[in-house]
Amino acid sequence: MAIDGTGLAPGERIRLFRRRAGLTQEQCAQLKGCTVSAWRKWESGGRRVTGFADWVEIARILGVRDVYKLTGLPAGELPQPPADHAAVPAIRTALFTFNPDLSGPPDLDRLAAAVDRAWTVWQERRSYAEIGARLPALVAELRATVAHADRTEREPAARIAVLLYFLVRAFTKRVGVPDLALVAADRASTAAQTLADPGYRAAAAWNLGMSLYPQGHAELVAALARDATAELGPRLAEAPPQWWSVLGALHLLRAVQLVRLRDEHAALGELQAAEEIGRRTGDRNDFRIFFGPTNVGLHRVWLAVEQSRPAEAIRLADQYDVTGAPSVQRRFAHYVTLARAYCMRSEDVAAIHMLLRAERESAWDLRYHADARAVVRDLLRRENSLTRADLRPLAERLGMLGT
């Protein structure tokens, strides 16, 4: 009889097909480029495989041609990118049109104020509709302004360009258009390189890394963060708070990449460096990058979950009040992390509560967040009378019933 793993959990399926292929856990970990501990946790269920790209690679290693046989999930239940947001075609046109027109003389003060207002909407209200409506006109005006700027206007125009392209990167990444996110991040970096201010260049490196790492370039992003940190280092003696803040953000970015690369000891060192900087800066939002003791703490909570230590994550989370954090995205991500922690402990009511809090922060983000959908799938498999009333409507809103 063919071995298909019917009725088994995903981790048990991985173990089944590994044994069928005649491979040891050590061999598989070497082929995957992860630690043996990580592979064992995948098989035991102590850590979930949440990325579709990871599933494809594991299937290749084990010689399984149909990923469904490993996941046990139909394609409709696997994380899928969202359909293009309605604003994407207009944003694409604004980014690439050959000769953007400026109806009047450049007004850098007005444009800077408009970009600042748009960032406030994004960070504080997370209105995809409103930002999607604003970005095309802002990008078109920026490009035309830069083209017409005289020598005295070039530097302030470049500063505006950096922050606007940061926002374009953040928006297009979230609506699932990685090619535009990378273009925007590259343009921000190009604009930053024209400035004498190393803080802008460091912030642009962070922004570029945020575009690259979801595409699987952990080593490249870790090196980018390291090099940007090294450039700031000799200048820190008289550095303004903004430089220290972006330096801390770069340490956090590098820590995340090192976790992805399974170098958790080095990741802890980066977190410690960020923590020391956070004590110096306090919570800040320089270059529209949220950094400070709170964000360092949220990363420690996330790392504990990644290392399959949910009790520690929940204990750590009690030390940080994120309700006043200026970034919707950070609050949202933290609630999803805690939902994962509670789900790992089979505390399903608490997990649902955290998912609902995340949904209140950003329903759009929740619908397409791979970790959140993985938690909902686990909760649905063991739903009961205590969880059904809240879980079923949530799953329905996420489009996860009837698939």
Question: In this predicted structure, which of 3-12, 149-158, 175-184, 384-393 has the lowest mean pLDDT?
Answer: 3-12
Q: Which of 61-70, 197-206, 299-308 shows the highest mean pLDDT?
A: 197-206
- Count of beta carbons in the 10 Å neighbourhood of residue 120: 12
Q: In terms of CATH architecture, what is 10-77? A: Orthogonal Bundle (1.10)
Query: How far is Cα 111 from Cα 138, in angstroms, rounded to an integer?
Result: 8
> pLDDT band at 32, cuts 50/70/90?
confident
Query: How far is Cα 19 from Cα 255, in angstroms, rounded to an integer?
Result: 34
Per-residue confidence (pLDDT) for residue 78, from 0 to 100: 45
Contact by Cβ (8 Å): 145, 106: yes
Higher pLDDT: 192 or 102? It is 192
Contact by Cβ (8 Å): 248, 296: yes
What pairs with residue 291 in β-bridges?
Answer: 284
Spans of all domains in the chain: 10-77, 83-195, 325-403
CB-neighbour burial class of residue 27 (10 A; exposed 0-12, middle 13-18, buried 19+) = middle
Contact by Cβ (8 Å): 154, 145: no
- Count of beta carbons in the 10 Å neighbourhood of residue 205: 27
Question: In this predicted structure, which of 16-20, 193-197, 338-342 has the lowest mean pLDDT?
Answer: 16-20
Q: What tokens appear for 145 in the block? A: 């302004």
Q: Residue 331 above 60 pLDDT?
A: yes
- Please name the residues in contact with 244: beta carbons below 8 A apart, sequence gap of 6 or more: 236, 277, 280, 281
Could you report the per-residue pLDDT of 212-266, keeping only the tens digit for each?
A: 987 778 899 999 999 999 999 888 888 999 999 999 999 999 999 998 787 888 9
- Please name the residues in contact with 278: beta carbons below 8 A apart, sequence gap of 6 or more: 248, 291, 292, 293, 295, 296
Q: Residue 2 above 70 pLDDT?
A: no
Q: Residue 91 above 90 pLDDT?
A: yes
Contact by Cβ (8 Å): 162, 142: no
Q: What tokens appear for 179 in the block? A: 């090619």
Q: What tokens appear for 222 in the block? A: 């870790």
Tell me what percent of the residues of the chain surpass a pLDDT of 90.
Answer: 57
